[in-house]
Chain A
Amino acid sequence: GENVEQHPSTLSVQEGDSAVIKCTYSDSASNYFPWYKQELGKRPQLIIDIRSNVGEKKDQRIAVTLNKTAKHFSLHITETQPEDSAVYFCAAYNTNAGKSTFGDGTTLTVKP
């Protein structure tokens, strides 16, 4: 089955700096890669996603890149703000298996 590894497990940055979270996946059949943000005490919510036929996608201060050959994808947050502090989860979805596998999460802390 699919295995998703996410790094780092914790990340602390100064407000205004950039943050990068990386995930690798094992199953080349995975074809959809969402990122979820979970604020303290709240539910995970989708912030950005990318399909396997796209290499990069941007939405304001967040971007996701995908390298299918190397089987890794990354979340980039620029100009971080304290409200970006949360746990971020990557996931890999395999259409054939009909299942998403989640990474173990990254706790991002943005210091004012």
Chain B
Amino acid sequence: DTAVSQTPKYLVTQMGNDKSIKCEQNLGHDTMYWYKQDSKKFLKIMFSYNNKELIINETVPNRFSPKSPDKAHLNLHINSLELGDSAVYFCASSRQRGGGTDTQYFGPGTRLTVL
């Protein structure tokens, strides 16, 4: 009955590889997000989808490509991984865009380590 789930929880890989992270929410929310949390704990939004449509893309390198097959799922594919991509990636969802509030429900995070 997990509200927002992510897989994998840990990801260790070599520079130059391509990897994907998957996210699913069972809250019936319309909006989903990807955040990056670096070693300094800063939480930075990367992308947001509303009903499968990309609505926020925050100057993220085009090596990062999100995909939302339906409103309950949001995946993140990263090409040609670099050392600086090492971080914890959080998926989140909220009820609806423009709904007056934006309480975010976060997934457990995926700790990506690039060697």
Taking beta carbons and an 8 Å cutoff, which residues of A are in contact with B?
Answer: 31-32, 34, 36, 38, 42-46, 49, 51, 87, 89, 91, 93, 95-96, 98-102, 104-105, 107
- Judge whether B100 and A98 touch: CB under 8 Å: no
- Judge whether B43 and A98 touch: CB under 8 Å: no
- Judge whether A34 and B41 touch: CB under 8 Å: no
Chain B min CB distance to A20 (Å): 20
- Judge whether B103 and A89 touch: CB under 8 Å: no
Residues 85-104 of B, flagged 1 when their CB comes within 8 A of A and 0 if not, give: 00000100000011111111
Q: Roughly how many angstroms separate A98 CA and B42 CA in the complex, as a whole number? A: 20
| Interchain Cβ contacts under 8 Å between A and B, 16 examples | A31-B100, A32-B102, A34-B103, A34-B104, A38-B41, A43-B90, A43-B106, A46-B103, A46-B105, A49-B101, A91-B102, A98-B50, A98-B97, A100-B45, A105-B42, A107-B41
| Number of B interface residues in the complex (CB < 8 A) | 25
- Write the chain B residue with the least CB distance to A44: B106
Query: Which residues 24-71 of B have a CB within 8 angstroms of A?
Result: 31, 40-45, 48, 50, 55-56
- Judge whether A46 and B104 touch: CB under 8 Å: yes
Known: A43-B109, A100-B102. 14 other contacts (CB 8 A): A32-B100, A32-B102, A34-B101, A34-B103, A38-B41, A43-B108, A44-B104, A49-B103, A89-B43, A98-B55, A99-B45, A99-B56, A105-B41, A105-B43
